[in-house]
Structure 1
Amino acid sequence: MRRKKVIILPHLVDAGGDLSKNWFVEYSCRDPRTDKLKRFREYTGLGKHKSAKERYTLAKQIIAELKEKLATGWVPFQEEKVTFQDELIMQVHADRWGRERESLPTIRIYLSEFLEVKKATVIQHSYQTYRSKLRIFAEWAEHQELDTIHISCITRDHICDFMFFLIEQNNVSRRTILKYKQILHGFFDYMIQARGIILTNPVHDIPEMGRLTDEAPRPIPEKERSKLMAYMKKNDPQLWLFCQMEYYCAIRPNELRQLRIQDIDFVRHIIRVPCTISKNRQTELVNIPNQLYNVLLAMKVDEHEGGLYLFSSCGRPGKSMLGKNNFRFRFDRIRNRLGLSAEYKLYSFKHTGGVELVNAGVDTWELQRHFRHKSIDTTERYIRRNFAVKSDKIKNHFPDI
């Protein structure tokens, strides 16, 4: 298959040397919105010169300037200024000056448009991840002057350069690089499918790069768990309830902090995780084990008004939702005070519950339902990553060395 020409380089059309006719420099560019070559003609100043020598000299200069601009990714398509909501601007600046801007279409406008779509389709926590990473990409692109070229001229090499920048500046992990790749791939797919502005996605065949590290929270062994339990019961009972709900119900921290009293069905022993707070954007039901159920009854949680948040200020249900990092900071302080490993994180209680369930003999299907994994494959990968092969023969009947 023959590759389509993107540009036909500028050349002089001199009317056979006839000075009585118009001379012009002609070139063509493929419009990424229509996938058709569009012809352009530059007449600037050529008709003012009466001698062929002067016209040839000026034409040579015009051709050189156009070639240099085209080589940097500039395209001649005329686009009107548009008014847009800048989703990438820092909140402190938005509060002061507002988000509304007027500009020719640039990478920042398209990124802001993509973020507006994501704001309506993903949970707040995920939206914040999209925004923070795309903000860094926009700032880098503007520093590289990629905002002066058409978005279709952003190539795989540019994406690789951005990834190398992240590694050199912040020593980011391979997992973080993968997240950037996923988000940017989604953005350029949007430019192809929803906007029809570009034809190909530049985020492809990106080599593996970044610091290799295991960032997954480790399950907490019983000895360390007992220390945490004793301290939290005495000094922070609200945090201890939070950890128990992670452990027994495998509810994610960001979902837990948004849970309301009305989401707990004390009759059926079920917690309803609404689609508005669920990571999977689906309303899901979780069984409440008897141990946690009895704790909730002892705390008289069922006697509170349904619309209150389960976790609020003053250590009891209330109208205000706690911040997304509130419990993590509280847990980290206690963990450090007790001298425990930083590998134990607030999210570790969810994995710890999984370990105990597998050790108790729960089957993969039950674990999938309890952890609300989309597929059994996800659960099997989770088990392989977190558990050794459970074998009585290997443990108790291994031949002597």
Structure 2
Amino acid sequence: MKNPEKNSVDFSKPFIDYIPAELRENKDWLIVYSILDPVSKKLVRKRKRVPPLSNKVERRKMARKMVSSINSRLDRGWNEIIEEEAPKSLCLIIDATKSYINSLDRDYQNGAIRKDTYRTYTSFITNFENWIKKTGREKEFILHFNASLISEFLDHIYIERKNKARTYNNYLHALRLFNKWLIQKSYKNIDVTAIFQTKRNSEKERELIEANEVKNVFEYLDKNYCELSLVCKLIYYCFIRPTELSRLKVKDVLIKDRLIHLSKQNSKKTGGYVTVQTELMQQLAFHIRNANLEDYLFSNNECKTGKNQASGKFYYDRWMKHIVKNGITNNPLYSLKDSGITFALDHGVSPVSVMNQARHYDLSVTTAYLRKPQQKADQNLLSANW
């Protein structure tokens, strides 16, 4: 018997994103149609089974209604695959990245995230967006933001650009946060980054400044640039990062207590109080003698106290100009902090005291700064008896 549904649709009409439904009466009565998969851009066949009825005439009437309903919806643009996705899944990836960066900017302006956090995540997502454009994916939908795409991008970061595992992990973390935002904003339903694992970091190589070079640094700066000398001493003795120093104000220096207060907002990781050696505190007290409490401790006015905040890069630039270019040491500014921690441990300062001063979250972070033992007998153990 001829299938009555075969000629119910004009198949001479060109269909671009679907093939209309039709009834196929075989062992199983199936309604068959095809829809466009937005990801593969190929037509995908779909089948729906017609519920069994003892009366074939009634079953065929039911099938006709199902075919008519499906074709009506297809004609209005319905797509079963897209319906299963999030409401905004057909937005362009580059439009979503721009919206995400705008969201980060709003969070920064409202004080919800720090400037460093804003700058870091904006940089990562901007680099991802540039890669999307460079690889000809400007018209790709969020539907295409999947594990395959992320894998290709991370390979670009790790293999093609030959970055370290730490950089790979930082990009992966940024993409995870981006995916979380996509879910919150109805661009995605699932976390497509979940299958990716962070890479194990190789042991961090610390560049230490030799003790005689540290001495030469302070001697030169004490004579020629006492404000920068204070910056360097706080990095070396108090283990305060340059970016953290740029945020400190005069009110954070507690002269009587010989402490500097690092609030959570001003600290990269953990806030708290750091101890300032007596002589160094005397130098700090002289430095702030005429300053207002709300002045920055080391402003962009050549590290003097002032109303305009400097940046961490500001100190790096002056280190390069006055220390590196004068041949005192070739090591970067951040090496002062690593050297200070290592030399403190070398001189017998309790690891717990160093941990608290450096605001490490765990003692294992502090002990990682210990020098590796040389292949010789420990004199302290040779004469010990317990």
TM more than 0.5: yes
Count of matched residue pairs: 327
Correspondence for 1:108: 97
Is contact 2:351–2:366 with CA below 8 Å preserved after alignment?
A: no
Q: Which among 111, 118, 124 is matched to residue 133 of structure 1? A: 124
Alpha carbons of 1:142 and 1:371: their partners in 2 closer, same or farther (altered >3 Å)?
A: same
Alpha carbons of 1:371 and 1:106: their partners in 2 closer, same or farther (altered >3 Å)?
A: same
Alpha carbons of 1:380 and 1:122: their partners in 2 closer, same or farther (altered >3 Å)?
A: same
Q: Which runs of 5+ in 2 are unaligned?
A: 22-32, 43-78
- State how far apart, in whole Å, the 2-side matches of 1:390 and 1:261 are: 44
Alpha carbons of 1:153 and 1:393: their partners in 2 closer, same or farther (altered >3 Å)?
A: same
Secondary structure of 1:126's aligned partner:
helix
Q: Residue 66 in 1 paired to residue 36 in 2?
A: yes
Q: Which amino acid aligns with 1:388?
A: K
Higher Cα radius of gyration: 2
By how many angstroms is 1:397 displaced?
7.5
Secondary structure of 1:125's aligned partner:
helix
- State how far apart, in whole Å, the 1-side matches of 2:202 and 2:89 are: 45
Secondary structure of 2:5's aligned partner:
helix
Is contact 2:342–2:369 with CA below 8 Å preserved after alignment?
A: no
Secondary structure of 1:171's aligned partner:
coil
Is contact 2:217–2:328 with CA below 8 Å preserved after alignment?
A: no
Q: Residue 247 in 1 paired to residue 217 in 2?
A: no
- State how far apart, in whole Å, the 2-side matches of 1:178 and 1:81 are: 26
Correspondence for 2:339: 352
1:147-190 residue CA offsets vs partner (Å, 9 max, x unmatched): 53442432222122112323566433332222111211222233
Correspondence for 1:87: none
Q: Residue 323 in 1 paired to residue 314 in 2?
A: no
Correspondence for 1:309: 296
- State how far apart, in whole Å, the 2-side matches of 1:326 and 1:283 are: 23
**Alpha-carbon RMSD:** 4.1
Matches within 5 A, 1:271-350: 271-280=260-269, 283-297=271-285, 299-312=286-299, 313-339=301-327, 342=330, 344-350=331-337
Secondary structure of 2:260's aligned partner:
strand
Correspondence for 2:156: 165
Q: Percent identity?
A: 18
By how many angstroms is 1:292 displaced?
1.1
Alpha carbons of 1:348 and 1:81: their partners in 2 closer, same or farther (altered >3 Å)?
A: closer
Q: Residue 16 in 1 paired to residue 8 in 2?
A: no
Q: Which runs of 5+ in 1 are unaligned?
A: 1-13, 27-39, 47-61, 83-101
By how many angstroms is 1:136 displaced?
0.6
Matches within 5 A, 1:1-400: 16-19=5-8, 66=36, 69-72=38-41, 76=82, 106-112=95-101, 115-116=104-105, 119=108, 120-146=111-137, 148-167=139-158, 170-192=161-183, 195=186, 197-202=188-193, 204-205=195-196, 208=199, 217-280=206-269, 283-297=271-285, 299-312=286-299, 313-339=301-327, 342=330, 344-373=331-360, 375-376=361-362, 379-389=363-373, 393-394=377-378
Alpha carbons of 1:213 and 1:103: their partners in 2 closer, same or farther (altered >3 Å)?
A: closer
Alpha carbons of 1:19 and 1:181: their partners in 2 closer, same or farther (altered >3 Å)?
A: closer
By how many angstroms is 1:314 displaced?
4.3
Correspondence for 1:36: none
Is contact 1:270–1:285 with CA below 8 Å preserved after alignment?
A: yes
Alpha carbons of 1:300 and 1:71: their partners in 2 closer, same or farther (altered >3 Å)?
A: closer
- State how far apart, in whole Å, the 1-side matches of 2:376 and 2:220 are: 35
Secondary structure of 1:148's aligned partner:
coil
Q: Which amino acid aligns with 1:321?
A: Q
Is contact 2:172–2:198 with CA below 8 Å preserved after alignment?
A: no
Q: Which amino acid aligns with 2:305?
A: P
When normalised by structure 2's length, the TM-score is 0.70
Q: Which amino acid aligns with 2:265?
A: T
By how many angstroms is 1:319 displaced?
1.1
Query: Bigger shift: 143-152 or 307-316?
Result: 143-152
- State how far apart, in whole Å, the 2-side matches of 1:154 and 1:196 are: 10
Correspondence for 1:33: none
